[in-house]
Amino acid sequence: MAGLSIRDARKSFGDTEVLKGVSIDVADGEFAVIVGPSGCGKSTLLRSVAGLEELTAGSIHIGERDVTALQPSERGIAMVFQSYALYPHLTVRENMAFGLKIAKAGKAAIDAAVQRAAGILNIETLLERKPAALSGGQRQRVAIGRAIVRQPQIFLFDEPLSNLDADLRVRMRYEFANLHRQLGTTTLYVTHDQVEAMTLADRIIVLRDGRIEQVGTPRELYEHPANIFVAQFLGTPRMNIMAAVVADGGQATLADGRRIALPPLATPLTPGTALSVGIRPEDVAIGEAPDALPFTVTFIERLGGLATVHLTARDGDEPIACQLRDDGSLDEGDGVPVSLPADRLHLFGADGLAIAKKTRE
């Protein structure tokens, strides 16, 4: 097994630069998830690691080896594709054995490897079937099995769950986590689904427009997003962002003229500075409190246990979302007191970058 190191990877298709200098280090045995909106270059990056795309500039190391110029099969990687890409005319067993057969491995070795992978994935009973006779989840398992059989140093996953229905996606997510615990193989996983990223990753790499926005553990990224993009990309419903201007007395004035308290900052801001104030929906509190402001409920999304309540202070304002346990007491049109706790606020400058809060001593 080995770690992965990508140095200043650049990739252009014609005049379009898709990767604009991406450097990533994935430690041995780590589960790293690359997440970003479509078109951010995440799949291109993964395919470059696989050797299916040639980098315009930069290098890729797997373990100590420079694999930048190597063929896909020589890199010690295995890839699971979004469409599974199973060979339709071969049985599950033949699908999984294909790589070893090409490599002219002995029959006994092939059988052992296939049996082992099938055992790990609980697909022993499917070995003689053709892909057409499998369900989506089973195909997904076979695709993973084919990857396991190769005994790669690195697993590459390209949006492997996006073809599955919601139910199965949750189960497969759980299985991916389990599988990684069991095999301990370094994994690079690409998805546009932030829930997958949050639940699976040891470390998340947020990519946008071919550049890395932030790298960190799911917790770090959620608690301390480096900029507005990361803050809004992770978490559903997404973080509320309100325009504000710094006022005196550690306060800020919202667009509607009302004042809220700011958290203590590492370096105080001069009054009059424009900034964006962010707060996660679950941190917005409804109920009487000394600093509560009156808001009106404009819309309630009831999800059963939880509800997302959309609140506005004035007509025409962008509503802020509040997530809470739904006890059925609220109705659309109700006026409610809402507080935005200062210690739960995220502050961003005009450039979109996070403004450092004072760390507690």
Q: Which residues bind other proteins (CB under 8 A)?
A: 50-52, 71-73, 77-79, 81-83, 85-89, 98-99, 102-103, 146, 150
Alpha helices by DSSP H, 69-165: 92-102, 107-121, 136-149
Q: 245 vs 254, 259, 269, 291, CA distance in Å?
A: 7, 9, 10, 18
Q: How far is the CB of 105 from other proteins (least distance, A)?
A: 11
Tell me the pairing of strands 306-312 and 346-348: unpaired
CA angle 253, 259, 264 (to 5 degrees): 85
DSSP run (H or E) holding 59? strand 57-62
Phi and psi, residue 164, nearest 5°:
-100, 155
Select 106 or 257, whichever has its Cβ closest to other proteins: 106
Select 57 or 103, whichever has its Cβ closest to other proteins: 103
Q: How far is the CB of 209 from other proteins (least distance, A)?
A: 24
What does the alpha-carbon distance between residue 271 and residue 274 come to, in Å, rounded to a whole number? 9
Select 72 or 319, whichever has its Cβ closest to other proteins: 72
* Full DSSP string of 191-210: ES-HHHHHHH-SEEEEEETT
Select 53 or 175, whichever has its Cβ closest to other proteins: 53
Q: How far is the CB of 50 from other proteins (least distance, A)?
A: 6
* Residue 11, SS3 per DSSP: strand
Select 17 or 53, whichever has its Cβ closest to other proteins: 53
Residue 62 half-sphere exposure, CB side, CA atoms within 13 Å?
24
Select 146 or 310, whichever has its Cβ closest to other proteins: 146
Interhelix angle 107-121/136-149, nearest 10 degrees = 140
Select 27 or 103, whichever has its Cβ closest to other proteins: 103
Q: How far is the CB of 101 from other proteins (least distance, A)?
A: 9
Listed in sequence order, the residues at least 6 apart from 33 whose beta carbon sits closer than 8 Å to its beta carbon are 189, 190, 191, 196, 197, 200, 201, 203, 204, 205
Select 85 or 120, whichever has its Cβ closest to other proteins: 85
Which residue type occupies 38?
Answer: S
Which residue, 136, 142, 188, 124, is CA-closest to 164? 136
Q: How far is the CB of 134 from other proteins (least distance, A)?
A: 15
Q: How far is the CB of 53 from other proteins (least distance, A)?
A: 10
Q: How far is the CB of 234 from other proteins (least distance, A)?
A: 28
Q: How far is the CB of 33 from other proteins (least distance, A)?
A: 20
